[in-house]
Amino acid sequence: MNVLTAYIVKEILKGSFIAILLLLTLFNLFTFSDQLKDLGVGNYGLKEIFYYLALTSPTVFYELMPASALLGSLFILGAMGNNRELIAMQAAGLSIFGIIRAVLLAGAILVIISILVGEFIAPVTERAARVLKVTAQNEQVVMDAKYGLWLREGKKFINVRKIQDDGSLSDISIYELDDQRRLRYSTHAETATFQGRQQWKLEKIQQSTISTQQMSATHYDEQAWQSSVAPDLLKIVVVNPNNLSLYDLAMYISFLKNNAQKSHEFELAFWGRVVNPLIVFVMLLVSTPFVIGVKRGVNMGGRMMIGVVIGMGFNIIDKIVGHVGLIYDLNPPLMAFAPSLTVLMLALWALKRVQG
């Protein structure tokens, strides 16, 4: 790597990290304002809100990386263009292709950082943030274990094996202790449906009463269950495809297919993860035609504005295409790659015109 290439790489990395720091701060301010609405609910105070912001920041960092790469490269290359540094570099023997190569080298470093954060840090911290908020707002002690969700409510220990898409529960076991912490009642229900106002309806119930003298069993078709366990508390175990790593998505898709369940949403999220590094490179390529050209027909502010509009427009179109693919069950890899490849072709065409 020669001196000029190293200089461009260093400056673009610096500009991108400044951009992501500003964007992350802005997004966290909006999140902080939104979280203040829940201040005082249960034990959810200011300390918990700041913990929540810290834990969700890696996910926001990962999602903002493409936009930050675009804004950082636009700012840095634009400044170099205004200061005639790019012209001086070309006069010193660095071709336009060499400038683009340096930009993409900086992009490769950003992609590596993004993958490390998105695959190994963000999924863990995002789940911890969800658990932190829900448990702070509720009195129950929650543990998401291999054998389902465990909650504690006073002297009762509740195990939920499965949460349905409509919010109802399946395969529920309730264990109630007496004052001496001995098991007093054991209740198992096939399903539980939330009726509102801390009221659940249990169906197909088998209840055992246990004492030091005897044990008896009773069966019920249905029974009311008064509990402060709220459906919101159970959301922490609902699988969110946007918060899973690439490996976890692959494993979960395989699980869904093996059990003949719909996996289209998770396949789209999987291919979205695969294409995310390409988006960073595309955003960097989008920035270069507007700042490295020697023509003076468009001022630097206009070039940067055009680049920002294209970059932000890409994000909107990408989300629209993803939702359309989800609604009509279109091919997930095609829906994930189509917007990026389209913008990539346009960026390469624009670069070819600049070189011409």
Contact indicator for 225, 195 with CB cutoff of 8 Å: no
- pTM, two decimals, is 0.75
CA–CA separation, 154 and 176 (whole Å): 9
Task: Give strand pairing partners of 194.
Answer: 200
Q: Is the pLDDT of residue 263 over 60?
A: yes
How far is the CA of 229 from the CAs of 148, 199, 234, in angstroms? 15, 9, 8
Q: How many CB atoms lie within 10 A of CB 281?
A: 20
Q: Is the pLDDT of residue 165 over 80?
A: no
Instruction: Please give the pLDDT value at position 130.
Output: 81
Instruction: Please give the pLDDT value at position 143.
Output: 59
Contact indicator for 263, 257 with CB cutoff of 8 Å: yes
Q: How does residue 253 score in pLDDT terms, banded at 50, 70 and 90?
A: confident
CA–CA separation, 242 and 6 (whole Å): 35
Q: pLDDT (tens digit, 9 = 90+) per residue, 112-153?
A: 999 999 999 998 898 888 878 877 876 655 555 555 677 778
Concatenated DSSP letters of 147-171: TEEEEEETTEEEEEEEE-TTS-EEE
Q: Is the pLDDT of residue 181 over 60?
A: yes
CA–CA separation, 210 and 208 (whole Å): 6
Instruction: Please give the pLDDT value at position 78.
Output: 81
Q: pLDDT (tens digit, 9 = 90+) per residue, 16-40?
A: 999 899 999 999 999 999 999 999 8
Q: Is the pLDDT of residue 290 over 90?
A: no
Of residues 214 and 8, more confidently modeled? 8
Task: Give strand pairing partners of 141.
Answer: 152
**Region of poorest pLDDT, from 22-26, 170-174, 311-315:** 311-315
**Region of poorest pLDDT, from 53-67, 284-298, 320-334:** 284-298
Q: Give residue 298's region: left, alpha or beta (phi > 0; psi -120 to 50).
A: beta
3-state secondary structure of 174: strand
- The percentage of the chain sitting over the pLDDT mark of 70, rounded to a whole number, equals 86
Q: How does residue 232 score in pLDDT terms, banded at 50, 70 and 90?
A: low
User: Which residue's structure tokens are 């098991």?
Assistant: 183
Contact indicator for 270, 332 with CB cutoff of 8 Å: yes
Q: How does residue 302 score in pLDDT terms, banded at 50, 70 and 90?
A: low
User: Which residue's structure tokens are 């203040």?
Assistant: 36
Instruction: Please give the pLDDT value at position 52.
Output: 95
Domain ranges in the chain? 3-137+239-355, 141-229
Contact indicator for 118, 41 with CB cutoff of 8 Å: no
Instruction: Please give the pLDDT value at position 355.
Output: 65
Concatenated DSSP letters of 9-28: HHHHHHHHHHHHHHHHHHHH
Instruction: Please give the pLDDT value at position 134.
Output: 76
User: Which residue's structure tokens are 């863990």?
Assistant: 124
